[in-house]
Amino acid sequence: MILFNEKCDLLPVYESIKKFYLLGSATERNELVSHADMRRSVVRFNRYFLLIATLYILASCNDQNKQVTQMQSKIDSLQKQLAESYKPGLGEFMSGIQMHHAKLWFAGQNQNWALANFEVHEIQESLDDIRNFCQDRPEVKAMGMINPTVDSVNNAIQQKNLQLFKNSFISLTNTCNNCHKATDHGFNVVIIPTNSPVTNQDFKTVQ
């Protein structure tokens, strides 16, 4: 079966059917076809050809509609799976940031700049993830105030400047609390860590 599509050229089919039809007419009558008869034959042939071409187009459209329906069904299935897949909530991201915030402080206090650099980038990655995965939360709009203080801490780490690190870290902590207040979470107060958040990590610089 010939399916009609953009690349399907019906002209060769037209010529083949035309020759067959006219040859059949001449053979059956065993005489030359007059000019008038030829014209009537061509008219009849054109009607037949138009009918065949229309059937080809309809068959092709039906196949395309089936393919579109099948593709849409697959897309709907994937969208449903994506909607039902697990995505961390804002609270989970914040708990991770709280841990990195504490570890960042002890890394900086011990002038373990490699570890401090790691921790500040973990905080930045978590903030980026919140923007990507928690776009429906209104709190996300206020998070922009955190960026300058994170950059300030990162700058102190790159300079390996302990005093600048302390000042930048305090500013970061205060900004966290300001963000909490601006988003009706003022009850969640962040402080400068007084004890290590973990007992199985040494924050001193590796010699």
- Evaluate whether residue 33 is within a structural domain: yes
Q: Are residues 77 and 115 in the same domain?
A: no
Q: Is residue 190 part of a domain?
A: no
Q: Which of 42-46, 86-90, 96-100 has the lowest mean pLDDT?
A: 42-46
Q: Residue 90 pLDDT more than 80?
A: yes
CA 153, CA 175: separation in Å to the nearest integer?
12
Q: What is the pLDDT of residue 45?
A: 64
User: What range does the domain containing 46 cover?
Assistant: 11-84
| pLDDT grade for 106, boundaries at 50, 70 and 90 | very high
* Phi, psi of 19, rounded to the nearest 5 degrees: -60, -45
Q: Read off the CATH number of the domain in which 160 is found.
A: 1.20.120.290
17: CB partners within 8 A, 6+ apart:
45, 48, 49, 52
pLDDT for 161 beyond 80: yes
63 & 130 share domain: no
Higher pLDDT, 133 or 187: 187
Is residue 4 in some structural domain?
A: no
What's the confidence (pLDDT) of residue 98?
95
Task: Over range 3-19, report the average pLDDT.
Answer: 50
0.85 surpassed by pTM: no
Q: With pLDDT > 70 as the criterion, what percentage of the chain qualifies?
A: 71
Same domain, yes or no, for 100 and 71? no
- Residue 5 inside a domain? The answer is no
Q: Answer yes or no: do 31 and 75 share one domain.
A: yes
pLDDT of 135 reads 86
Q: Is the pLDDT of residue 103 over 90?
A: yes
Tally of domains within the chain: 2
Residue 156 lies in a domain: yes
Same-domain status, 79 and 103: no
With a cut of 50, say whether residue 194 has pLDDT above it: yes
Give 60-117 as a DSSP string. Answer: HHHHHHHHHHHHHHHHHHHHHHHHHS----HHHHHHHHHHHHHHHHHHHHTT-HHHHH
Q: Is the pLDDT of residue 29 over 50?
A: no
* Band (7; pLDDT cuts 50, 70, 90): very low
Name the one residue in this structure whose structure tokens are 């500040």. Answer: 120
- Is 146 part of a structural domain of the chain? yes
Check pLDDT > 80 for residue 152.
yes
In the predicted model, what is the mean pLDDT of residues 42-51? 66
